[in-house]
Amino acid sequence: MAAQDEEELFDLLDDGGRPLGVRKARRLVHRDGDWHRSVHVWVLLERGPDGLEPDGGRSAAEPWVLFQQRSPDKDTWPGALEVAVSGHYRAGEDLAGALREAEEEIGLPLSPRDVVRLGTRRSQDDHAPGIVDRELQDVLLATTRRALAELRPDPREVTALLSLPLGAALRLVRGEAPRASGLARRPPDAAGAVKVEPRDVRLDEFVVARDGYFERALDTIRRRLAGEAPAPWLLG
């Protein structure tokens, strides 16, 4: 089965994010470079792996940030690491509807009351031949008590889930460290067994974000955890 529905309908926007009252199939939206809405949910795992002290002995009590590895069948950034949940608003959907992506992609049910807004990002990406992806992204944060092994990634969309300590993730995206050490969880094998194992990652394994998006989002998360209340930002 394909990793995306090319006939899925999206609502079109103008370049300021205002609805145009027009609906169009995904494949045509990406062909023509139309602006449309998407949702990014950053996920914090409150429960770190017991007994593990990654990244030079830092405490396992530090919150861990969840990322997904995209399916190799995705039309954009196949196989790359990115935000835990990313997906499009279907035509006519509000935020409550779009958050279905969290359960579909990683098995984490979310409602609007479970998330806080970090900001909004205007993203333009034409790296894939024949695709011009222009998105207005709602950037949100969710926190879960579920452990990495308890999440259920959909193998049609997600090859693996990766968790990194927040500090290690920040140092990686800032270019302060060549790699970060974390844990990876793959979908169950044919026998239903779940495997979680150590994994080191480099920044070039992630979706490319030349606008500083990863650093902005992770630093906002750090500030919130420190007791600050940063205002939602607009990037792009």
For the stretch 62-97, pLDDT in tens is 899 999 999 999 888 999 999 999 999 999 999 999
Q: What is the pLDDT of residue 54?
A: 41
Q: CA–CA separation, 197 vs 184, rounded Å?
A: 5
The pTM of the full predicted model, rounded to 2 decimals, is 0.92
Classify each residue of 1-35 as buried b or exposed e, where b means 16 or more C-beta atoms within 10 Å of its C-beta: eebbeeeeebbbbeeeeeeeeeebebbebbeeebb
- pLDDT tens by residue, 204-224: 999 999 999 999 999 999 999
> For the chain, what percent of residues have pLDDT higher than 90?
81
Residue 138 phi, psi (nearest 5): -80, 115
pLDDT at 55 over 70: no
- pLDDT tens by residue, 111-147: 999 999 999 999 999 988 999 999 999 999 999 999 9
Residue with tokens 């919130």: 224
| CATH, range 38-87+100-115+136-228 | 3.90.79
